[in-house]
Amino acid sequence: MPSQRHPSHEAEIKRLNRIAGQVEGVKKMVEEGRYCPEILSQLRAVRSAVKGIETEILRRHLSSCVVSAMQGGDKASRMKYIEEVTNLFSKFDE
């Protein structure tokens, strides 16, 4: 359900590239047979980085797309956005 005024996520490209590099590093660690806690530590760092991007994109979606939808459109359209956001939150885990 894209908004008319979709925000840019261009700022996340550098962060995504960094994460891709981290994942390649973890792959190399596995191939080298590195110590499990070292691998797990790096995986935790990747997870944290992904969560940071996820949080930023969600913040941008709420402050842009959802706010726009709530300010305009009919009740059915607003309810669709509420349902979308509810579904997004139900997929998030700690």
Q: What is the pTM of this model?
A: 0.77
What domains are defined for the chain?
12-91 (1.20.58.1000)
Q: What is the pLDDT of residues 36-80, one digit of tens each?
A: 999 999 999 999 999 999 999 988 888 888 888 788 778 888 888
Task: Pick the more confident residue, 63 or 16.
Answer: 16
Compute the residue count for the chain: 94
Going 77 to 80 to 84 to 90, the CA torsion angle's sign is positive
Residues with Cβ within 8 Å of 38's Cβ and at least 6 positions away in sequence, in order, are 29
Structure-token match 């997004």, residue found = 88
3-state helix, strand, coil split of the chain in percent (to 5) is 80, 0, 20
